Amino acid sequence: MSQSFDEISAQLKRRHRKSARLKWLSMGALGLAGLFLVIFFADMLGKGLPAFQQAQIRVEVTYSEQSQQLPLAAVNEDVRELVSRGWLRTLPMMMRDNPQLLGTSRQEWVLADGQVDQYLKGHYTRLDDDEKEIVDALAEQGRAELQFNTTFFSRGDSKMPELAGIMSAAMGTVMTLLVTLAVSFPIGVMTAVYLEEFAPDNRLTQIIEININNLAAIPSILFGLLGLAIFINFFGVPRSSPLVGGLTLALMTLPVIIIATRTALRSVPDNIRHAAFGVGCSRWQVVRDHVLPLALPGIMTGSIIGLAQAMGETAPLIIVGMVAFIPDISASVTDAATVLPAQIFTWAGEPDRAFVEKTAGGILVLLTILIAMNATAVVLRKKFERRW
């Protein structure tokens, strides 16, 4: 009456093939996603790693009266076009600071022009053939080479690629994030504590909850519009300042911290609370002395992840004006500043090809910091993870 195994198996062949196809297809999808990631990182490393090196050439520098007036005169005419203009401009100041240099002349490694840098790295360059020959000759004599690019890490933005660095943007990021943290962490934790431990289950609480989830999904650029209209136009917070940027990002980070804190609070089992109530603690004492300390690792993890997100955010900061050209490190949170992602955005828009590698270099720095932050969060979670 019923079919044998072999008969059924024969009918099943096609269906098994289809099933296998789904398996391979889905595996392929995951592989594709992984491949994107590999291509992306390979591309960024390939483009960005050269930014950590910078061409230097060894030339005769003459510290004379004349070169104080006209810095170009400090180097020989044949290499004049190859030395960084920006560096030459710092000469008079250097001579003013060190008067004993006056009248001396010596061989020195000096910053090469961005075009020389690009040429040595084998990229497109605007150098003409004569200049290329000179650079080749210098390189052969060991007088032109790529060295570690300290400028990139120690200086602010510049219109000359060989002098452009991420320092001012990095400091801007630090200041902005400090503002963000100072605002969003206390408010976020307090909100979560209220909702999780104190709030009655009424209409208002539900509205707040829905609202928080919605805030987390609102496009970030709209937070920029809020920052522009409320913080800058209404409260008069200075435009382009880490203060306004930090406040705007704080509002974006708030839902992340609230949601993470609530999850952490919820994972503290109720019998801890009951035990504390049992020994006569008030609700606030239970939260302060028992629940919060146990939830702290989770709160920290969530806050780090929230901050990492804020750190990569660009769109709302552009709207509040944090894309300014900032060559110097800003002194306070109310001065104009820029942040790493905004610096990346600015450089990406520079027409000079040499800025492509600066952009990618900045991206590598930013990604390294972000990965480090997220790794810290993961380690923190692993280390303090408790199974109840």
Partner 1 sequence: MMDMKVANLGAASMSMPAIGEPVTRNEEANHELSIRVRDLNLWYGQTQALQNINIDVYQKNVTALIGPSGCGKSTFLRCLNRMNDLIRGVRIEGLVEMDGRDVNEVRMDEVALRRRVGMVFQKPNPFPKSIYENIAYAPRMHDLVSRKADQDELVERALQDAGLWNEVKDKLHQPGTSLSGGQQQRLCIARAIAVQPDVILMDEPTSALDPISTATIEDLMDKLKKQFTIITVTHNMQQAARVADYTAFFHLGELIEYNDTKTMFSNPHTKKAEDYITGRYG
Partner 2 sequence: MQTNQLLLLFSGVLLLLGLIAFFMGRAKAARVRSTGTSMYAQPDQYAWFTVLATAGPAVLVGALGSFVMLLLGAEIPTLYLLAGSLVVSCVGLMIGMNRVRPDFHARQAIERVIRFILAGAALISIFTTFGILFSIISEAVRFFQMHSFWGFITGTTWNPGASFLEAAGRADDAASAAQFGSVPLFAGTFMITLIAMLVAIPVGLMSAIYMSEFAPAKVRTLAKPVLEVLAGIPTVVYGFFAAITVAPVIVTIAGALGLEASFNNALAPGIVMGIMIIPFISSLSDDVINAVPDSMRQGALALGMTRGETIKHVVVPAALPGIISASLLAVSRALGETMIVVMAAGMRPNLTANPLEDMTTVTVRIVAALTGDQEFESAETLSAFALGLVLFVVTLTLNLVSVIMIRRFREKYRVNNL
Residues 13-72 that bind partner 1 (CB under 8 A): 15-16
Enumerate residues 121-150 that contact partner 2 by CB under 8 A.
Answer: none
Nearer to partner 1, 26 or 154 (CB): 26
Residue 195 binding partner per list partner 1, partner 2, none, with a CB distance cut-off of 5 to 8 Å that depends on partner kind:
partner 2
**Residue 378 in the binding site for partner 1 (CB under 8 A):** no
Nearer to partner 1, 11 or 90 (CB): 11
Rounded CA-CA distance 111/127 in Å is 16
Enumerate residues 326-365 that contact partner 2 by CB under 8 A.
Answer: 341-342, 344-345, 348-349, 356, 359-360, 363
**Residue 271 in the binding site for partner 1 (CB under 8 A):** no
Beta bridge pairs of residue 144: 57
Is the Cβ–Cβ distance between 74 and 67 less than 8 Å? yes
Nearer to partner 1, 16 or 89 (CB): 16
Contact pattern from residue 145 through residue 184 relative to partner 2, giving x for each residue in contact according to CB under 8 A and a dash for the rest: ----------------------------------------
Rounded CA-CA distance 372/370 in Å is 5
The one-letter amino acid code at 158 reads: S
Q: How far is the CB of 6 from partner 1 (least distance, A)?
A: 8
Residue 66 binding partner per list partner 2, partner 1, none, with a CB distance cut-off of 5 to 8 Å that depends on partner kind:
none
- Give kind and range of the element (H or E) at residue 144: strand 144-148
The structure tokens listed for 137 are: 């000759």
Residue 105 binding partner per list partner 2, partner 1, none, with a CB distance cut-off of 5 to 8 Å that depends on partner kind:
none
Backbone φ/ψ region at 201: left (φ over 0), alpha (ψ -120 to 50), beta: beta
Rounded CA-CA distance 228/221 in Å is 11
Among 8, 20, 137, 216, binds partner 1 (CB under 8 A): 8
161: nearest Cα among 353, 386, 369, 371? 353
Q: How far is the CB of 290 from partner 2 (least distance, A)?
A: 15
Enumerate residues 271-330 that contact partner 2 by CB under 8 A.
Answer: 282-284, 308-309, 311-315, 318-319, 323
Nearer to partner 1, 9 or 214 (CB): 9
Q: Is the dihedral of CA 209, 211, 214, 220 positive or negative?
A: negative
CA atoms within 13 A on the CB side of 268: 26
Of the chain, the end-to-end C-alpha distance in Å amounts to 55
Nearer to partner 1, 1 or 38 (CB): 1
The structure tokens listed for 346 are: 């600015």
The one-letter amino acid code at 99 reads: P
Q: How far is the CB of 2 from partner 1 (least distance, A)?
A: 5
- Please report, as ranges, the residues that interact with partner 1 according to CB under 8 A: 2-5, 8-9, 11-12, 15-16
